[in-house]
Amino acid sequence: MKPVGLLCLTGILLTLTRSASGQQVYSLTARVINAGQEPIAVHARLLSIPDSAVLKSGLFPDGVVSFPAISQTNAVLRLSSLSFADTLIRIHNNGHSQLNLGVLVMQERNFQLHEVRISGQAPLVSQGSNGSVDVQVTGTILAGSTSVTQILERSPGVTFNDGRISVVGKGEALLFLNSQAITYEQLAAIPVSQIIRIEIIANPSSRYDAEGKAVIRIITKANAEKGTTGSITQQYTYSDFAGGESNTLSDLNHRKGKLTIAANYTLRAGHDREILHTTRTRPATTNFLHSDLTTDWQRKLRNYSSYGVGIQYNPSDNTYFSLGYKGNLDKLGGSQDSRNSITDAINQGIYNSRLAKNEKRLNHSLIFNYNRTLDSLGSAFFIGSQVTRFRTDVRDLISENNALNDSIFSRRLKNNQSYSITIFSAQADYTKAFGSDKKLETGLKLTYATTASGTDFLVAASGEYFQPDPKLSSQFDYTEWLPAAYINYSGAISKSVHFGAGIRNEWTHYTLNTTAGAGQMIQKSYFNVFPNFLLTKTVWDDLAFRLSYVAKITRPRYQALNPWVIYQDPFTSIQGNPGLRPEKVHAFEIGMNYRQFDLRAGYNYTLDPRSGAALRGDGPNSYVLKGINLEKDHTFFLSGSATLTIGWWNTTNTVTLSQSNSIDNQYGFELVKPRPQLYAYTSNTFTIKNLVKIQLLAWYLGDKYYGLYYNKSRATVTLGLEKDFFKNAWKLRFTANDLFH
């Protein structure tokens, strides 16, 4: 079927939306909070009268309880949460299609242990039968994190590498804020105080964009409490390595009637530091070369401000409109010191450079959402749109002092860069529920992106004026259109067997122009179909098996296509590659879930996997670092997770073993020998009533051998203490990061 036909088919399905009320059935909703007005994770069960048989049950990590398709007029709702007394509510429906119980406050339950008053801690992590992982933020020590990225760094199975967020065993993840895709740069504008939980989806359905190999979904609070609430948090960190850094976080919410207004502001200032040591060797005698490069980034965060304001109007219980603005302003100073010792068959040189950093980033996002619940079964219609603009200006001054054999020479350079990215997206999603266990989802999405950049490099020898360097200067323009359509169905084959299947179609058309080198213009279109499938078999109430398949794509970032020069020293630079191709992955997984124990094994087959290489430059000793595509890659992984709660102690532990084997016959590089990589994570929370809440978190990411790269192991140990004052109105938090570094 042609792309247009597939899009039209989904468009026809969207036109079938109609408001319908389930006959003789109704839906039940409620919000569960604690005495401190915070949502709590709750296990809800709907019981029949008079035999107390379980009609429906579920775990609701954000405290929002929702049961569709209830046919019993009279029932009992039982709410259970660790450290809280069970709450029983009698339900009687007088023919309404929707029954909203409003806000329910659960009372904390205390007990004695060796003369010390202890209260339980809600689980930090819960495992889904479909392989997803929910990380609770509200009410845990994660709520004291300085940023969303810090929350993700402390979440099981999530790693950071070169500005990319990945899920262990899967790869780079796509980020979602509630129901809309966002970029990594937009994370800075999300207030930590508004986050309820993080959902890590290892096997996403066709409802989500095909981009990325997994999905990380950030769930924020839906509605504020009536009246005006707000918070101010002050944090300060210090290390001998980097220096001090302060974070000021504030938010304000006001709700009156059907209108809700929210605003937030975050200020980050101080110092950050990173050191990279790289060696390169050409062992052949004829063109021997050894390079030993150390780069030290000493960043000064002059003003990192994130801000946002939003308004939401609820004309009825089943409809809302929202309009929000998010932005951030980053002013970066500091320096970048580089020392490169190069030895070849004839010469020996030492090349030192210092870059005085002067960078400004200004980002804006405008978001509009409309959502309507169509019936008591869970059918819904959603429309969302987003306009985002990123602007970066760089005015760096570089000084070089070099020594080659017995000669010493110096020069100065100016690097003036400006680039902007504008992204517009609009989507429409329709969900039709057929009873409590059958659901059809379909939708359309259009994304348009354009980016433009200009680089002017100026060079001045010692004592001379600056002159333009045409080899290091360039212009770049890129435009992309990406329409998409999807359909997904989930249902039950029997009482114990459930399945979900879907397909997503995406058509990509882009135009690229650059003046770098000899200049080039690239125009290309391609169409992809991404199927997905999930089958689950429940053996007992607590034991389930699953089998899944997902097809995904990872397109090169706009910056990765831009061949502009990021200068390091006279012989080392970083450039984008306009010829990069998107990588396609086919992911297979089998898994078992028993209560809060999860075991999974998977295999990923990747075509055109992206890698990076140091390619020969114009000179015999020069290198250009750029992204390339290898031929294919095979990745296997085995992972086990367990979450346990023993009174006042809650512990989450994950262990993953993975191995990647890349294959390439194009460049002739010598690929590293693949070896298994170990990832281990543990998070332990101890809650002692009236004393302190203690968290000990640690993770270890072992040596990684993949493709052209070898990454050394990394590890961190974090200790956190939290103390409440004045009946939970004030919180004092102390966090020690990287205790042994």
**What single string gives the DSSP state of each residue in 529-542?**
EEEEEEEEEEEETT
From 198, 195, 38, select the one nearest 103 (Cα to Cα).
Answer: 38
Phi–psi pair at 206, nearest 5 degrees: -70, -10
Average pLDDT of 598-608?
A: 94
Task: Examine the pLDDT at 359 and tell me if it is beyond 60.
Answer: yes
- The pLDDT tens digits of the residues spanning 485-498 come to 999 999 888 888 99
- The pLDDT tens digits of the residues spanning 47-84 come to 888 777 777 777 776 677 888 778 788 888 988 876 67
From 343, 305, 347, select the one nearest 327 (Cα to Cα).
Answer: 305
Total count of residues recorded for the chain: 741
pLDDT at 69: 74
Average pLDDT of 95-123?
A: 61
pLDDT at 117: 39
Instruction: Find all residues with CB under 8 Å of 526, minimum gap 6, and list them.
Output: 507, 508
- The pLDDT tens digits of the residues spanning 540-553 come to 877 889 999 999 99
Q: Which CATH number fits domain 125-736: 3.40.640.10, 1.10.1060.10, 2.40.50.100, 2.40.170.20?
A: 2.40.170.20
The residue assigned the tokens 């202890």 is 118
* CATH class (in words) of the domain with range 21-109: mainly beta
pLDDT at 480: 96
pLDDT at 20: 37
Query: CA 56 to CA 59: how far, in whole Å?
Result: 11
pLDDT at 119: 43
DSSP for 369-430, please give it.
EEEEE-STT--EEEEEEEEEEEEEEEEEEEEEEEEETTEEEEEEEEEEEEEEEEEEEEEEEE
Q: Give a three-class secondary structure readout of 301-322.
A: EEEEEEEEEEEEEEEECCEEEE
From 741, 716, 690, select the one nearest 275 (Cα to Cα).
Answer: 741
Mean pLDDT of the chain: 84
CB contact burial 30-54 (16+ within 10 A = b; e otherwise): bbbbbeeeebbbbbbbbbeeeeeee
Query: CA 305 to CA 144: how far, in whole Å?
Result: 18
Whether residue 50 is preceded by a cis peptide bond, meaning omega within 30 degrees of 0, is yes
Kindly give the residue spans of alpha helices, DSSP state H, lying in 114-153. 148-153
Q: Where in the chain is the domain with CATH 2.40.170.20?
A: 125-736
387 neighbors 424 (Cβ within 8 angstroms): yes
Q: Where in the chain is the domain with CATH 2.60.40.10?
A: 21-109
From 246, 247, 250, select the one nearest 264 (Cα to Cα).
Answer: 250
413 neighbors 398 (Cβ within 8 angstroms): yes
pLDDT at 729: 64
Q: Which helix (H) or strand (E) holds 9?
A: helix 3-15
